[in-house]
Structure 1
């Protein structure tokens, strides 16, 4: 009798505990979770100081992993298999397991992002918080989605590891040609080596090759008065001097600061104090993707589509631009102005450590704005608050293309690019962007 009463007692405890536990609830993923993951990657890039080309690689692969998972359930998202270089079909989700694909997509995004950064523990802070919440809501659903996400991550990693990035890590530094006055030389204050001189060897995503959209050659190098090159050099100097006269409240100063996006430096020029720039130019445009997605109340699939297609355009734009930079190997305005015009002159922005032609901001902005226009439409007005965390005010634009044009001309205002690098860079970037648009289905229909 005592044993029976003890058994009843144990059963009553089990029943009481089970009745108090929360029933499992479906895990719902919102677009904000993807924005949070992308924002965390930006934060870590700032900490780890990724160069702009490398940063573009860190963005694009996790986006593709998330996209391919969601493409299985979303009719408007066609798989990228066969559309981007050497990507084979990912493992398909087992329909009998009723896998939460949106959950699997964000897990894959975070896990692959973690493998591409140095400070993994910083990504784990976000993961641990989300994983704990998802386990509490529905641990079986979470575990099933995570297992599948890891299968996709392994597949994408195998493809990613064949893009020649690892090989370029062991290639020689760029050799500076000091005998040719037209060739790039390291610039003050740090006189860094040219970064990523072998980036044109990275496998492209949609482009046929790094040189597919090789730009028109820059004006022939000449310091003779009246030559096209000399005129462009003098324009940089004259514009800089005129801006300086206007003072701190100059519109040109504000534009130059807003689009600086140089992860390496902080700059002081006389009484002008410039904000330390944190993010890369590609990251700035990824921030604009977030703004546009939120403004249109995009759902998870639409948000991931926008991030993925835009990041592909940005990644190919960097490969295209860097191919030209180290082919033309053109000297920066700062070097020539100090040598021949004014030894005390400083550009408003610090000159970044790589050759001049074409302008990376112009190429990347041209490509990104073209992709975004295809996704969200022309004349898409938005307030760009991407730089607010870095102490800069919001700027408003009536379209992505107008934002790209301002980003491009900011390099002239900053004193770091000639006019040809800006104009031809925009053309080059838009050519890249249009090619990506024509080969990928950009807009949800």
Structure 2
């Protein structure tokens, strides 16, 4: 039965096998992004700068992530739970969500990382993005917390109530901590910046062809080509083709999805 609730044993098994690899990749990204100094790029070094959280030599020597990295890690851990338990989040749909979560995180904290460029103008149809104020202070873990919470709600609107509550709880957990540590105006500005970037990335995502893919994993109008070596339904469920038009979606960087296809195998040689 081709149910839109794709949390069958097979799909869950596939996602479980990929879980460790996804987590390692996302944690590496998170550590790289938020272990950097949390000072905004400014034209003048005479302006005051924010102080990194838990960036002491002792912590760094131990190889432990600072609080900013822990924020990102916690959000991506939650995203792994959501993609395995939210109806319709087949592997392609889950991968799309991971991609936009990653871009949201990077673009939110990029202004605070020296020698890092925005992806605007580099990714397909991402022509421009909001910018921070050069004169203003930002607390990047706060901005990341607000951005990831916001974009996660938009990417997982069909998540179960317990997962929606988990998003709220995680956001509040970090918000309470940072409100106690960060000057009030800087905190509010950082939250506003995170929400602004989340809205911008989500708006960009709407035009890629995969919006609400969790509702359209199977389609009645697809007729699979017939021939040797081509896809056919397989046991035990003999399901229809999963997202057969997904390859037409806008890639992040490639000209088209076809660019990733390998060339034909070379002829056999004796």
Q: Which category describes the TM-score, using the shorter chain as reference length?
A: 0.5 to 0.7
Greater CA deviation, 60-69 or 120-129? 120-129
Q: Find 1:76's aligned residue among 109, 115, 118.
A: 115
> What residue is the counterpart of 2:207 in the other structure?
162
Q: Find 2:178's aligned residue among 116, 128, 134.
A: 134
> What residue is the counterpart of 1:287 in the other structure?
none
How far residue 27 of structure 1 moved from its aligned partner, in angstroms, is 8.2
Segments ≥4 residues shifted beyond 6 Å: none
Q: How does 1:45-56 map onto structure 2 within 5 Å?
A: 45-48=83-86, 50-56=89-95
Q: How does 1:369-388 map onto structure 2 within 5 Å?
A: none
How far residue 133 of structure 1 moved from its aligned partner, in angstroms, is 2.5
SS of structure 2 residue aligned to 1:212: helix
Greater CA deviation, 168-177 or 197-206? 168-177
Which consecutive residues of structure 2, in runs of 5 or more, have no partner in the other structure?
1-49, 54-66
Asked whether 1:175 is paired with 2:220, we answer no
Structure 2 Cα separation of the partners of residues 152 and 44 of structure 1: 22
Q: How does 1:246-325 map onto structure 2 within 5 Å?
A: none
Verify the 8 A CA contact 1:59 1:113 in the aligned structure 2.
Answer: no
TM (norm. structure 1) is 0.40
> What residue is the counterpart of 2:152 in the other structure?
113
Query: Could you list the per-position Cα deviations for residues 37-74 of structure 1 after superposition, in whole angstroms to 9, with x for gaps in the alignment?
Result: 11110011111152111111111112112212322222
Q: Find 2:70's aligned residue among 4, 8, 32.
A: 32
Query: Could you list the per-position Cα deviations for residues 165-194 of structure 1 after superposition, in whole angstroms to 9, with x for gaps in the alignment?
Result: 1386668343345x6565432222222222
Q: Give me the CA root mean square deviation.
A: 2.9
> What residue is the counterpart of 1:65 in the other structure?
104
Which consecutive residues of structure 1, in runs of 5 or more, have no partner in the other structure?
1-24, 221-227, 229-445
Structure 2 Cα separation of the partners of residues 99 and 219 of structure 1: 55
TM (norm. structure 2) is 0.63
How far residue 34 of structure 1 moved from its aligned partner, in angstroms, is 0.9
By relative contact order (CA 8 Å, sep 6+), the higher-ranking structure is: 2
How many correspondences in the alignment?
A: 196
Structure 1 Cα separation of the partners of residues 126 and 206 of structure 2: 12
Verify the 8 A CA contact 1:107 1:149 in the aligned structure 2.
Answer: yes
Q: Between Structure 1 and Structure 2, whose CA radius of gyration is higher?
A: 1
SS of structure 2 residue aligned to 1:166: coil
> What residue is the counterpart of 1:308 in the other structure?
none
